[in-house]
Structure formats: C-alpha cells, structure tokens
Amino acid sequence: MEMIETRSSTGRWLAGAGLWVLQVVAAGLFLMAALGKFTGAEPSVSTFEAIGWGEWFRHLVGVVEVVGAVALLVPALSGAAALAFAGLMAGATLTEAFVSGGPLVMPLALLVISGVIAWGRRDRTVRLWRSVTRR
C-alpha cells in the first residue's frame, strides 16, 4: 500500500513540475510575442494590418500577452490565464489560417501548450471562480 502512495505522489509531483516548466516556457514565448507587437516587428505588423483593426489592437493584444504571461506564473491565476491564452491562440490560429495566411505552427503550438496547462490547472481555475462568485 505504501508503494502505491509513493508512486502516486511521485507522479503528481512530476506532473506538477512538468506543468511549471510549460508555464515558464509559455510565459517566455508570450512575452517575446508581446515584445514583437510593441516594437512593430514583422510579421506582427502585417498580420494586424490584414485583420484591419489598426495598431491599437496590436498593442492591446501585446498588453494581454504581458498580463497573461505574468498570471501564468501566479499559482492562483495560472489555470485561468492558460484558459484565456487557449482562447486567444484559437483566435490567432484562425486568423493565420483564414485572414493573414501566415504559418500556423506557433499559434497551434501555443494553443496546445495553453490547453495542457489549463487542463492541468483546472482545479485552480475552479477555486478562483468560486472565490470570485461567492456572495
């Protein structure tokens, strides 16, 4: 019985460590993406021109990426941040596929990573939701 508990706790520890690695990697990637949006680097400018919403939207997405990257590293917010990033990356993937015609590898990869983090941290998202909706 003790061996089963040890394996179970070791597996949970490894899963938690793996999620932290993904969170740090995702936060770094989103910060780099935001930097490209703030500095006007390509393909950021041409992608947002293709969308047709102007520079303000590019900067807004950059701000969302910075705030979300920080939130990925805050334990209580990590699940919600990952869930929000999954939505953002679903939109980015669709935009690349149907509007700008850019490569899909990065938004799809970030969508998958965000989805894995959101699933792995779903208990934190539920706790956060319950604490926000309490009266």
Read off the pLDDT of each residue in 9-30 and give the average, rounded to a whole number: 93
Rounded CA separation 120/44 (Å): 30
Q: Tell me: the pLDDT tens digits for 111-132?
A: 999 999 999 999 999 999 999 9
Rounded CA separation 62/67 (Å): 9
Q: Tell me: the pLDDT tens digits for 33-85?
A: 999 999 999 888 888 888 888 899 999 999 999 999 999 999 999 999 999 99
Distances (CA, A) of 72 to 52, 69, 109, 117, 133: 29, 5, 16, 9, 21
Q: For 49-74, give the secondary structure using H, E and C.
A: HHHCCCHHHHHHHHHHHHHHHHHHCC
Q: Where is average pLDDT lowest: 2-6, 10-14, 42-46, 78-82?
A: 2-6
Read off the pLDDT of each residue in 9-19 and give the average, rounded to a whole number: 89
Read off the pLDDT of each residue in 4-33 and give the average, rounded to a whole number: 88
